[in-house]
Amino acid sequence: MNNGKSPVYARVTGTGGYLPGYPVSNFDLVARGIDTSDEWIVERTGICSRHFAAEGETSGVMAKIAAERALAMAELDPALLDLIIVATSTPDFVFPSTACLLQGALGNHGATAFDVQAVCSGFVYAFAVADKFMRSGTHKKALVVGSDAFSNILDWQDRGTCVLFGDGAGAVVLEAAEAPGVLSSVLRADGSQSGILSVPGQVRCGKVWGDPFLRMEGQAVFRNAVRVLASVAEECCQAAGIKSHEIDWLIPHQANIRIIDATSRKMGLAREKVIITVDRHGNTSAASVPLALDEAVRDGRIERGQRVLAEGVGGGFTWGAVLFEF
Ligand code: UT7
């Protein structure tokens, strides 16, 4: 335990990402027979293309590739990890958890390993949970992954949802450090809104009961997302004693460019301070934030010492934010 002697921060020492296959454009979706258009998708969402996993390319398989890239950047042997958290709503199996599958695939033994299910807020939830483990002093080297293969739960007859999502995985390695690190985090949920975004099916007695596809009341999700994202950012900054315009980078969940723009406008942040991947990734659910983080770290936009605010919002209804110094 830390015993309160010196502050312990969870510091990002590596990031990694993985997008399967090749970009699938809006025109490709039209060519596949979906009753939509590039114009509609770009205008309403900002999405131009997304990636889809191949058969057998599960959330666990994608998580391993992203994790290995993050571990390589951190120059950390996976055997030394003592905490592995995977955020996913599309786990490989009912059980064991995707985190345990990943642990086995990485050759780690004995680390605490579990999944977090908070849909598109999953990575932010997992990041905050890992921070709390590390602040308590019990864990020192954590791997946090967001991985989702939503193409498996999309109804291709439902043009209101199937054009929005893509597959992928993103990962961070967190190591205990005396310098920040994570500065603050806020996690929220409202179960009374569970019906607006769900996959309302279940596996029971050898059968799928209910509806195994993603269902969404788009406008209700849109309204809720815009309402909560700016306020949770404010709350998270306040907890760290800074103003929201003092952050260097905002990494919002990548669902819709209009939601991202409305959030940054409310926060008084210029577009140049916002990391955007939704145009090329679509909505990759739990993978969206760590994929965007990895891209901006690798292309040199996010630099050591800068303040980054990561935000998630999604089914549950869930939302949250983590503020950290990179
Ligand atoms: O991680 C969180 C996950 N989800 C989200 O963040 C999604 C939040 N919601 C949204 O982004 C938006 O609500 C959507 C992009 C899903 C929909 O945009 P909208 O402006 O709310 O459109 P709408 O659902 O009100 O539909 C408008 C029209 C309808 O036609 P009519 O009734 O006006 O004739 C739809 O049938 O657009 C039609 N439409 C489409 N047309 C072409 C719906 N989907 C499509 C499509 N292509 N793919």
**Ligand 1 lined by 40 (C-beta under 6 Å):** yes
pLDDT tens-digit map of 120-145: 999 999 999 999 999 999 999 999 99
Ligand 1 atom showing the smallest separation from residue 45 Cα: 15
**Ligand 1 lined by 218 (C-beta under 6 Å):** yes
Query: Would residue 18 be called left, alpha or beta, if left means φ above 0 and alpha means ψ between -120 and 50 degrees?
Result: beta
Tokens of 82: 């003592």
- Radius of gyration over every alpha carbon of the chain, rounded to an integer in angstroms: 19
Testing ligand 1's pocket by substitution, the residue of 44, 123, 258 carrying the most ligand atoms inside 8 A of its CB is 44
pLDDT tens-digit map of 286-317: 999 999 999 999 999 999 999 999 999 999 99
Task: Give the separation between CA 9 and CA 13, rounded to whole angstroms.
Answer: 12
Q: Kindly report the protein residue whose alpha carbon is nearest to atom 38 of ligand 1.
A: 160
Contacts of 3 (CB under 8 A, 6+ apart): 137
Which sequence positions are flagged as catalytic? 120, 253, 283
pLDDT tens-digit map of 7-60: 799 999 999 999 999 999 999 999 999 999 999 999 999 999 999 999 999 999
Q: Kindly report the protein residue whose alpha carbon is nearest to atom 27 of ligand 1.
A: 160
Contacts of 310 (CB under 8 A, 6+ apart): 123, 124, 127, 251, 289, 293, 321, 322, 323, 324
The pLDDT value given to residue 7: 75
The pLDDT value given to residue 163: 98
**Ligand 1 lined by 226 (C-beta under 6 Å):** no
Ligand 1 atom showing the smallest separation from residue 159 Cα: 48
**Alpha carbon 22 to chain centroid, angstroms:** 20
Res 5 pLDDT > 80: no
The pLDDT value given to residue 4: 54
Handedness of CA 241, 245, 246, 249 (dihedral sign): positive
Tokens of 192: 């009374």
Res 96 pLDDT > 80: yes
103-124 mean pLDDT? 98
Q: Kindly report the protein residue whose alpha carbon is nearest to atom 30 of ligand 1.
A: 160
Res 1 pLDDT > 80: no
Task: Give the separation between CA 160 and CA 155, rounded to whole angstroms.
Answer: 10
The pLDDT value given to residue 2: 52
Task: Give the separation between CA 259 and CA 267, rounded to whole angstroms.
Answer: 12
Q: pTM, whole model, 2 decimals?
A: 0.97
